[in-house]
């Protein structure tokens, strides 16, 4: 599981990128099917908030030049 740079080199996803993928998957699962209604709205809102935070972090990591 990695991305490719413009020069064709494999890049390992950062921890935030990996977590973002996990959170996005969980959100999609909640959108598609949910069999238990226990605290579902609160869990969904929490995941949406976490997804936004992680997207911002990933975006910042990509724009910060490496030394």
pLDDT tens column, 19-64: 999 988 888 877 666 566 677 788 888 889 999 999 999 999 888 7
Q: CA 22, CA 28: separation in Å to the nearest integer?
A: 10
pLDDT digit string (tens) for 23-35? Answer: 888 888 776 665 6
CA distance readout (Å), 40 to 10, 24, 64: 38, 16, 36
Query: Mutual orientation of helices 15-32 and 40-63 as an angle, nearest 10°?
Result: 150
Whole-prediction pTM: 0.52
Sign of CA dihedral 52, 53, 56, 58: negative
Q: CA 47, CA 65: separation in Å to the nearest integer?
A: 29
């Amino acid at each position: 599981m990695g991305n490719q740079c413009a020069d064709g080199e494999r890049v390992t996803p950062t921890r935030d990128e990996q977590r973002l993928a996990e959170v996005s998957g969980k959100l999609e699962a909640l959108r598609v099917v949910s069999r238990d209604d226990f605290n579902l709205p609160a869990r969904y809102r929490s995941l949406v908030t976490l997804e936004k935070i992680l997207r911002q972090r990933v975006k910042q990591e990509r724009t910060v030049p490496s030394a």
